[in-house]
Amino acid sequence: MAEAKKANTTDLSAFLQRTGRDIADMYRGASTWTTILRRADLLPTPTTPPPGEHDLLKRMHSFLHIDDAERATTYRQFTADNAPAYEDLTEFDQTIARMLFFNLWDKAGGFASYSTGLASLRSQHAVRSELGQLLAHLMHSGRTRAAQPLTGAHAHIPLNIHHAYNRSEILAAMGVARLGGQLPGFFAQGVLWDPANNTDALLITLNKSERDFSPSVRYKDYAISRTHFHWESQNSTAPNSPTGQRYQKHAQQGSHVLLFMRDGKETASGKAMPWILLGPATYERHTGTKPMAITWRLHHPLPDEIWSRLAGTVPPS
Quick: pLDDT tens for 227-243.
Answer: 999 999 999 999 999 99
Q: What is the pLDDT of residue 198?
A: 98
Q: What is the pLDDT of residue 212?
A: 47
Short-list 289, 287, 286, 195, CA closest to 248: 286
Query: pLDDT category, 17, cuts 50, 70, 90?
Result: very high
* Rounded distance between C-alpha atoms, residue 203 and residue 137, angstroms: 28
Q: What is the pLDDT of residue 278?
A: 98
Query: pLDDT category, 219, cuts 50, 70, 90?
Result: low
Task: Quote the strand ranges of 11-94, DSSP E.
Answer: none
66 burial (CB, 10 Å; 0-12 / 13-18 / 19+) is: buried
Q: What is the pLDDT of residue 207?
A: 87
Query: pLDDT category, 317, cuts 50, 70, 90?
Result: very low
Q: What is the pLDDT of residue 314?
A: 47
Beta-sheet pairing, 228-232 with 293-298 = antiparallel
Short-list 29, 12, 106, 1, CA closest to 268: 29
Any idea how long the chain is? 317
Q: What is the pLDDT of residue 22?
A: 93
Short-list 220, 175, 223, CA closest to 195: 175
| DSSP H helical ranges for 140-237 | 167-173
Short-list 90, 60, 53, CA closest to 74: 90
Region of poorest pLDDT, from 15-29, 105-119, 212-226: 212-226
Query: pLDDT category, 209, cuts 50, 70, 90?
Result: low
Residue 191: pLDDT over 50? yes
CA dihedral for 240, 242, 244, 249, sign (positive or negative): positive
Short-list 184, 300, 299, 311, CA closest to 250: 299
Residue 309: phi and psi, rounded to 5, are -80, -25
Q: What is the mean pLDDT of the chain?
A: 93
Residue 197: pLDDT over 80? yes
307 burial (CB, 10 Å; 0-12 / 13-18 / 19+) is: middle
Residue 131: pLDDT over 50? yes
Which whole number is the average pLDDT over 66-74? 95
